[in-house]
Amino acid sequence: MKKILCVLVLAIFTLSSSVFAEDALKLYRTGRDMEQKGLTENANTYYSDAVTVCKNELLLNDKNIESYVVMCWALFRLKKYNEVVDNSVKALKINPNEYRIIENLGETYFYLDRYSESLRNLERYVDAIPNGDRTATAYFFMGEIYRIEGKNHHADIAYSHAVKKEGTIALWWYRLGIAREKAGSIERAKEAYRKALALRPAYKEAEQALNRLG
């Protein structure tokens, strides 16, 4: 009887954990939809609710990696970067190879100006999951770090990987143009600027760059 009761309790506990995680993910995704529509305040409410759900779940099961993943994503969107770092460290103690946490942590370190740590996590992600959901974004942030540090050839390579995987973002092409221009690859820089303008015809910076280069 005790054995049956223990199994039943475990089943209920497992089900509760999965429901919590699923609810938090729905809240997070709704927040992302709101954010993309420019409804930042509404989005932040959903992100905050997602964090609350995850924290409550972790009170029941502090080893639930899914709750850590969604919570860190939501905290990132809320720009609570130090909290992302703290909770990512906890999550990686549970699963050192949780690459969703690793990639998000890489982006988080970027916004904390901790570039070496950002680069290390982003590189680890793209090496492990070359075709992951966030691989293109990871390469873009790597390009940003190299551009900021004045390593323009490295930035060219990273941005090129980013636009190869996701070629519809005008900003990424513009940044690639900057890296190529600073590296002295003028014609290739023009190609990137033209691509940025094709994607966003009112992109003044890209237009100015083309006029500057002649």
Q: Are 106 and 203 members of one domain?
A: yes
Q: What angle do CA 169, 172, 174 make, to 5 degrees?
A: 110
Whether residue 104 is found in the same domain as residue 206: yes
| 98 three-state secondary structure | coil
The total domain count for the chain is 2
Check pLDDT > 90 for residue 9. Answer: no
Please identify, among 45, 70, 96, the residue that sits at the C-terminal boundary of a domain.
96
Residue 79 phi/psi, 5-degree rounding, is 65, 30
For residue 180, pLDDT beyond 70? yes
As a whole number, the mean pLDDT across the chain is: 91
pLDDT for 11 beyond 70: no
Stated pTM of the model = 0.87
Residue-wise pLDDT tens digits, 67-123: 999 999 999 999 999 999 999 999 999 999 999 999 999 999 999 999 999 999 999
139-169 pLDDT, tens per residue? 999 999 999 999 999 999 999 999 999 999 9
Q: Which of 96, 118, 134 is the last residue of a domain?
A: 96
Whether 124 and 80 map to the same domain: the answer is: no
